[in-house]
Amino acid sequence: MMTLIGAWTPLTPFGLPPALWLLPAPVLIPLISAGLAILAAKYPRIQASIAIVALSLSLIASAGIIVVVDRNPMVLDVGSWAAPVGVSLVADRLSAAMLFMALIVTFAVHIYSVAQGSSSDNDVSGSLPLPIFQPTFLILSAGVSYSFLTGDLFNLYVGFEILLMASFVLITLGGTRGRIRSGTVYVVVSLVGSFIFLLGIAATYGATGTVNMAQLTTRLREIDPGVALILQALLLVGFALKAAVFPLSAWLPDSYPAAPAPVTAVFAGLLTKVGIYAIIRVQVLLFPPSPADKVLGFLGILTMIIGIVGAVAQDDLKRLLSFTLVSHIGFMLWGISLYSTVGIAAAVLYALHHILVQTTLFLVSGLIEHLGGSTSLTKLHSLVRLSPLLGALYLIPALNLVGFPPLTGFIGKYALSYASVINASPLGWALLAAGLVTSLLTLYVVIKVWNMAFWQTQDEAEATISEEDMEQCRSRKCSWRFRVMAGATGTLIAVSLVMTAFGEVVYSYTYRLGYDQMLRETYVTAVIPTKGRGRGKSKDVKETREEQRRSSTELGIVSDSQVDSSGTGFLEDSSTDAGVDKPRRSQKLGG
């Protein structure tokens, strides 16, 4: 039923490599636990315990996956039917890295939400009705995990719909007028994006006869280039809408701020990054270099500049952070549009960094609302005097978002800049200039929040908080809820600092990841191996293997074994491929 691609591993009594039991765990454990949480709806503590255990096990499984796939991809054939006939779960370096970071964030946000409590316990920060929240949150986690692990376009659509259905519930929790209004906008936009994506899937199947991504790698090169470009455009528009790429981003700043802080945080950290992951898969794995690369680069510039200009104009912290979220999606498009190993590596590195930092900042906004009763910058003041800890929790991820050295934001932006220098095209230089301008404006926004919310005195605030309100703030600061919420937020900051400390290791991993994506052979042969796999039989499998053998020379692909085992991300082999950086020592980050 399940097969591990790569070296021999001992078998369990059931005849299965033990590592493969890790692959479905991040999907199945949350789904099963969601059912158990519904049964325990009258017992909030039991519900919370079920969710914590489920997310912990999923995180452990994802950690195991990321270790295994650094040597070879993992493939699970559902029902013993091998691809392209059957449904396959696939984990390579890209999906494993995104999955691991997503589950770190999901676990921390869940701890934060449990501490925040139910609406009856805490009315200040727009809290959560837990009996509904817990199972829905688990379903959202399962949908995100399935989106990262699926091996075909249709099941990627299924993963999107699972997480979107859960997000529809989460964004309207509490049923207030503002949440219903923003939720309606979010639902309508999401359904439009899903329709475009489904239309692209149908057109792709009609043109190629398959939706398996490994098989599409060869078949899309056999159809008319004009038809292929139309299919690419349909898929990219659907994903760009979900990733909030300008001009398809206007819905996000109106939708996210109305939701409770934990919901906004997990949406900001994960949902747009699922869209970015899908863009990388489609743009790099399925389609060769095309005019769409330049379009993505141009949209990346607009997304960076217009998003950060919108943030400058805001005086509400949640809306300001929503605009910075849109703006920094442009940095990921920057790397993708350069269509090179270094560019993809930098884009993924920045995505991993941004998942952590943007989620942390939204959690900090929830802490600010918890203490000060508002996220309006004109009403807040003196927060650093009230809680120096809160000031530190804001300042570290805020400076990371700007890209202060040696934090992960600096590493990611330096890698993107290096990719532009190597590219040496007008688009590359324009992206570099836009990135510098956006970073400077991000610094302005960060200082603005610090001055208004943390540093200005009560006399300088336009709407002051009464002494009675300040006394309530002090009592909330001393509560166990605030301490646990701050602890969950601090955990994400600690993870980002660990990434900073091991920055060279992280970049080396993303470089190998980018090299795999550009060459494609590791993914294709793992999903559709020439020796066959699974008990399911179909003539399509034989035909696909023949297609794969015929196209291997045309693609110019080399084996994964040629990647330097030292972990530096460089090859001793001098093989090159169209659009793939020739591995040289000079391509190491920093020269």
Range with lowest mean pLDDT among 76-90, 286-300, 355-369: 76-90
Residue 426 has a CB neighbour count (10 Å cut-off) of 10
pLDDT in tens, 398-408: 999 999 988 99
Which stretch, 33-47, 351-365, 525-539, has highest mean pLDDT? 351-365
Asked whether residue 6 carries a pLDDT value surpassing 60, the answer given is no
Q: Which DSSP category does 284 fall into?
A: I
Residues 6+ apart with CB under 8 A from 542: none
Average pLDDT, stretch 560-581? 37
Which stretch, 105-114, 368-377, 524-533, has highest mean pLDDT? 105-114
Range with lowest mean pLDDT among 309-323, 331-345, 519-533: 519-533
The 3-state DSSP class for residue 150 equals strand
Residues 6+ apart with CB under 8 A from 206: none
Asked whether residue 35 carries a pLDDT value surpassing 50, the answer given is yes
Average pLDDT, stretch 216-222? 86
Euclidean distance between CA atoms 267 and 183, whole angstroms: 13
The residue to which tokens 């090179």 are assigned: 340
pLDDT in tens, 237-250: 999 998 989 888 88
Residues 6+ apart with CB under 8 A from 227: 207
DSSP-derived secondary structure for 443-511: HHHHHHHIIIIIIS-TTTSSSPPPHHHHHHHHHHHTSHHHHHHHHHHHHHHHHHHHHHHTHHHHHHHHH
pLDDT confidence band for 131 (50 / 70 / 90): confident
Average pLDDT, stretch 503-521? 89
Higher pLDDT among residues 263 and 588, named by residue: 263
Euclidean distance between CA atoms 55 and 471, whole angstroms: 37
Query: What is the pLDDT, as a whole number, of residue 186?
Result: 87
Average pLDDT, stretch 188-215? 90
In single-letter form, the type of residue at position 314 comes to Q
Euclidean distance between CA atoms 278 and 336, whole angstroms: 11
Structure tokens at 455: 């540093």
Query: What is the pLDDT, as a whole number, of residue 128?
Result: 56
| Burial of residue 254, with CB atoms counted within 10 A of its CB: 0-12 exposed, 13-18 middle, 19 or more buried | middle
Asked whether residue 14 carries a pLDDT value surpassing 90, the answer given is no
Q: Are 501 and 586 in contact (CB under 8 A)?
A: no
Asked whether residue 29 carries a pLDDT value surpassing 60, the answer given is yes
Query: What is the pLDDT, as a whole number, of residue 473?
Result: 53
Query: What is the pLDDT, as a whole number, of residue 274?
Result: 92
Residues 6+ apart with CB under 8 A from 156: 147, 150, 278, 281
38-43, long-range: CB within 8 Å, 24+ apart, which pairs? 38/135, 41/131, 42/131
Query: What is the pLDDT, as a whole number, of residue 181?
Result: 82
Average pLDDT, stretch 313-329? 92
Query: What is the pLDDT, as a whole number, of residue 521?
Result: 82
Query: What is the pLDDT, as a whole number, of residue 476?
Result: 53
Mean pLDDT of the chain: 80
Q: Which DSSP category does 557 fall into?
A: -
Higher pLDDT among residues 477 and 97, named by residue: 97
Residues 6+ apart with CB under 8 A from 448: 312, 377
DSSP-derived secondary structure for 79-108: GG--TTTS-EEEE-HHHHHHHHHHHHHHHH
Q: What is the 3-state secondary structure (H, E, C) of 305-353?
A: HHHHHHHHCCCEHHHHHHHHHHHHHHHHHHHHHCCCHHHHHHHHHHHHH
Average pLDDT, stretch 291-307? 92
Give the residues across from 251 on adjacent strands.
none
Residues 6+ apart with CB under 8 A from 262: 109, 110, 112, 113, 116, 128, 363, 366
The 3-state DSSP class for residue 3 equals strand
